[in-house]
Structure 1
Amino acid sequence: MTPERERKLVPVRRVVTGHDESGRSTVLSDEFSPHTMTFPGVPDYGQTDLWRTRVPADNTTSGESCENPTMAPPDGGVVFRVVQIPPDHLFLADFDRTAMFGGLPDGKHAVGDHEVRNATMHRTRSVDFAVVLDGEVHAVLEDGEVLLRRGDTLIQRGTLHGWSNRTDSNCQIAFVLVDAGPSDAGEEQQP
């Protein structure tokens, strides 16, 4: 019998460059990002924020940009993160949608008359660029789903979506979320 694996987020190394006092390029920090957020009751489902900025970005400051991880990118900005999605069978039966998505502005976890095909379905006001780093996951939409494997990409454009990991291993996905206006579905999105 194999012992149950420890359920936690895998640390993500973050190297940040900048300039020293003489203007030469240098490494400012090299560490595991401490900016993590797990979802209530699921210690291995969550995100590690790596960088947040408004656009255009300001490269003249050296301060920390990720002190308060949230799901949405900053207004007029972007967030770069890695999301870890555990196998469905480890959490989905007891998943609390309100605890996970209640922090989204305007309660976008409440999807109105839309069919919730998967308890993780939600909507954000952003264009999300995703690259699967490890494992596989189904991107679940109102009308269908698509299996994504290591190296596959997804451009999620403000749609109602969720994630389904039907394997026995975690899936790691790198995301860049870009703040956006309302979707072409004509629905009002979060501010």
Structure 2
Amino acid sequence: MSGRRILTGLGEDGKSAILIDEPLDHSAGGAAMVWSAPALPIDNALPADAPFPVFSFDQMHAGGASFMVMEYPAEMGEFWHATDTVECVAMLSGEIVFMTETGEVTLRAGDTLVDRGIVHCWRNDTDQPARAAIVMMPAHPVGKGRTV
């Protein structure tokens, strides 16, 4: 998967600047961490680079917010889980099935989803990869969730 991560901030001279412009680094699981912040509200005076340069489940419990791009491989099977997070998902390409304990919905490019920490699963029924942009924020647990 191609793509770049570009981050802005203040340069050494105190003027607005592009601080990072590099290829996205995808982990074996298909996640590419674009950026994360250790706490909310976000302190824009901190360095531009993410404290978690590669996706880790530790991010979900770190107290801040993360932005990543996820690729779901073609014909990806189910992985049921719940996390103590709110995840804002925007589909960029392809299609993916989002499953709950009582139903499912197919998400396609242009669709958005806000997952509020419930037990859920992702599945790709197509022969093409799907890609989503995800903002993840910590949340209090809900219901009978099994956290990752």
**Normalised TM-score (structure 2):** 0.88
Structure 1 residue 59 corresponds to structure 2 residue 44: yes
- 2:72: which partner in 1? 85
AA aligned opposite 2:56: T
Give the deviation of 1:59 after TM superposition: 1.4
Q: Secondary structure of 2:27's match?
A: strand
Q: Do the aligned partners of 2:32 and 2:54 also contact (CA within 8 Å) in 1?
A: no
- 2:9: which partner in 1? 18
Q: Do the aligned partners of 2:35 and 2:53 also contact (CA within 8 Å) in 1?
A: no
Q: Secondary structure of 1:73's match?
A: helix
Give the deviation of 1:21 after TM superposition: 2.1
- 1:154: which partner in 2? 113
Stretches of structure 2 that go unaligned for 5 or more consecutive residues are: none
**Residues in 1 aligned to 2:16 and 2:61: alpha-carbon distance in whole angstroms:** 27
Larger radius of gyration: 1
Aligned match for 2:96, one of 130, 137, 141: 137
Stretches of structure 1 that go unaligned for 5 or more consecutive residues are: 1-9, 40-45, 93-118
AA aligned opposite 1:19: L
Q: Number of aligned pairs?
A: 145
Between 1 and 2, higher relative CO (CA 8 Å, sep ≥ 6) is seen in 2
CA spacing shift, 1:188–1:146, aligned 2, 3 Å: closer
Give the deviation of 1:31 after TM superposition: 1.0
How many percent of aligned residue pairs carry the same amino acid? 32
AA aligned opposite 1:179: P
Q: Do the aligned partners of 2:70 and 2:133 also contact (CA within 8 Å) in 1?
A: yes
Aligned match for 1:176, one of 135, 139, 143: 135
- 1:69: which partner in 2? 55
- 1:7: which partner in 2? none
Give the deviation of 1:190 after TM superposition: 4.6
Give the deviation of 1:69 after TM superposition: 2.2
Q: Which runs of 4+ in 1 moved over 4 A?
A: 188-191
